[in-house]
Structure 1
């Protein structure tokens, strides 16, 4: 499958001068965004980019994607529980 992004020619020329591998950079950006949205799995991300598990983790870390962060619901529940304990 191919995905095509149409850019104005001047912008494409500028980006190709500035970005070492624009096609790979765009592919990584799309896939990392899909991973962040839970549209694809960690395994699918690595498989698509040809990375092993550790390389995939390194790439995600490089882009600030951290899986061990608690969800907003978890944080809110913990805050409510702490408030209950403090009120006792």
Structure 2
């Protein structure tokens, strides 16, 4: 998909040095916001931006888009850990 953005001519000169990077910056901003809103997963961020999982982690951290991890997720992980450790005894 291609998206066109109209920028008033009077602002082009101010944006000029960075115009070549603008499409990537817009894509990254869109992806970060979609991740924060839980419309994209970690894996989808990686596929869209062509990043491996570690690069996605760094990218999301850099953009203050942290892992969606609730207290319920923590409690479930804790129960799983206790079950696994109990089975090893």
| TM-score after normalising by structure 2 | 0.66
Number of positions where the alignment pairs a residue of Structure 1 with one of Structure 2: 72
Alignment map for 1:48-87 (pairs within 5 Å): 48-67=48-67, 70=70
What per-residue deviation string (whole Å, max 9, x for no partner) do you get for residues 34-70 of structure 1? 1111111111111010101110110001011111665
Give the number of the structure whose residues are more often helix, by fraction.
2
Structure 2 spans left out of the alignment, 5+ residues: 73-89
Structure 1 position 21 matched with structure 2 position 21: yes
Partners of 1:42 and 1:56 within 8 A in 2: yes
Structure 1 spans left out of the alignment, 5+ residues: 75-88
Partners of 2:46 and 2:52 within 8 A in 1: yes
| TM-score after normalising by structure 1 | 0.67
- The CA RMSD over aligned residues, in Å, is 2.3
- Greater relative contact order: 1 or 2 (C-alpha under 8 angstroms, separation 6 or more)? 2
CA distance in 1: counterparts of 2:56 and 2:36, whole angstroms:
13
